[in-house]
């Protein structure tokens, strides 16, 4: 059995309406993604604490799945007409072959070595080194499996610098991987914060799976207002710009900050902002991404 996938690039004004129209016309599922993902124009759509979310991306990619016997081109024309599009946006139709999707997905996620003693291990794998610090983590609804360069950069920093006994704030915690890793490496307590309720739930589940204690995960408005020995934020450049005063205030004097989710070309811009409060180290780069760190004056 196979399916057909309609992929359409459209603007913010039509993305959600087109998605709804395609579902009404028989799409089995519809995904809405940032067409500028992994580029300097990538856009965060979650609002900052106390602010409403801005909504959908400016440049959207709508991906709709259909049974193979459907006339997808005709459905697309009908959907476009229903929402008032007089000219069809750029699109393509692809065939999606049948697979054992569970096995295929699992095959894409092998254990990831972060260092000689730190590994990320999906639940369906046996740890390569049972004596290592193994973080049990499956791909899920929240960002952070160890496969992305920004996550690896932060994990290596934690592996190199956690001394033991620290309090840690993981802002934009995603899957909770950085808070969990910090605790497994010896931190005393950790708090994770994310604007996405699903990320908070995923982080709590992952903490239980890894049997770590002294960790809490919250939405921003529910997070405790206190200072931490270490603040880590693996998000995107624009939120890091906006959140700079909040993250600086959350870091105790003499404490450290770690920032990632920053393209290499954007590193100096972020450093210019954070050096108001921190003595920053030279940035570390991997695959076009950067990790910044420093100590609060």
Report the C-alpha gap between 68 and 139 in whole angstroms: 28
Structural element, H or E, at residue 31: strand 29-34
> Structural domain boundaries of the chain?
2-98, 140-296
Q: What is the DSSP letter of 164?
A: S
Domain spanning 2-98: CATH 3.30.70.120: yes
Q: What is this structure's pTM?
A: 0.66
146-184 per-position pLDDT tens digit:
678 999 999 999 999 999 999 999 999 999 999 999 999
* 145, 151 contact by CB (below 8 A): yes
Q: Looking at the domain that runs over 140-296, which CATH code has it been given?
A: 3.40.50.150
Backbone angles phi, psi at 141, to 5 degrees: -80, -15
Strands 167-171 and 228-234: parallel
Helix (H, G, I), strand (E, B) or coil at 286: strand
Quick one: 160 exposed, middle or buried, by C-beta within 10 A (0-12, 13-18, 19+)? exposed
Backbone φ and ψ for 76, nearest 5 degrees, come out as -60, -45
Q: How long, in residues, is the chain?
A: 297
Mean pLDDT in residue range 54-59: 61
Q: How far from 157 is each of 89, 129, 218, 266, CA to CA, in Å?
A: 44, 21, 24, 20
Least confident of 74-78, 127-131, 252-256: 127-131
Contact between 162 and 189 under an 8 Å Cβ cutoff? The reply is no
109-122 mean pLDDT: 83
244-278 pLDDT per residue, tens: 999 999 999 999 999 999 999 999 999 999 999 99
In percent, the amount of the chain with pLDDT more than 70 equals 85
Alpha helices in 164-266 (DSSP H): 177-184, 197-209, 237-250
Q: Which two tokens stand for residue 115?
A: 């260092």
Q: Do 167 and 190 form a contact (C-beta atoms < 8 A)?
A: yes
Rounded CA-CA distance 286/151 in Å is 11
- Please say if the pLDDT value at position 123 is more than 90: no
Quote the tokens at residue 179.
Answer: 């808070």
């Amino acid at each position: 059995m196979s399916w057909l996938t309609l992929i359409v690039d459209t603007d913010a004004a039509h993305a959600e309406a087109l998605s709804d129209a395609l579902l009404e016309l028989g799409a089995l599922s519809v995904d809405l993604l940032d067409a500028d993902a992994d580029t300097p124009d990538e856009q965060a759509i979650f609002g900052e604490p106390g602010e409403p979310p801005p909504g959908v991306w400016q440049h959207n990619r709508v991906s709709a799945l259909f049974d193979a016997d459907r006339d997808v081109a005709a459905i697309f024309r009908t959907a476009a007409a229903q929402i008032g599009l007089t000219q069809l946006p750029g699109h393509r139709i692809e065939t999606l072959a049948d697979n054992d999707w569970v096995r295929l997905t699992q095959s894409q996620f092998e254990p990831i070595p972060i260092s000689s003693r730190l590994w990320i291990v999906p639940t369906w794998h046996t740890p390569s080194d049972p004596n290592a610090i193994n973080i049990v983590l499956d791909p899920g609804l929240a960002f952070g499996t160890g496969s992305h360069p920004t996550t690896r950069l932060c994990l290596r920093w934690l592996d190199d610098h956690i001394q033991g006994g620290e309090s840690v704030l993981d802002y934009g915690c995603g899957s909770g991987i950085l808070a969990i890793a910090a605790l497994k490496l010896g931190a005393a307590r950790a708090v994770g914060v994310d604007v996405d309720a699903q990320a908070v739930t995923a982080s709590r589940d992952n903490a239980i799976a890894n049997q770590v204690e002294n960790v809490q995960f919250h939405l921003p408005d529910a997070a405790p207002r206190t200072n931490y020995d270490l603040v880590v934020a693996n998000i995107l450049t624009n939120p890091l710009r906006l959140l700079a005063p909040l993250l600086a205030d959350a870091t105790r004097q003499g404490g450290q900050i770690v920032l990632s989710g920053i393209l290499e070309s954007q590193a100096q811009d972020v450093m210019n902002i954070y050096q108001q409060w921190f003595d920053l180290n030279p940035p570390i780069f991997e695959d076009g991404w950067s990790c910044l760190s420093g100590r609060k004056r």
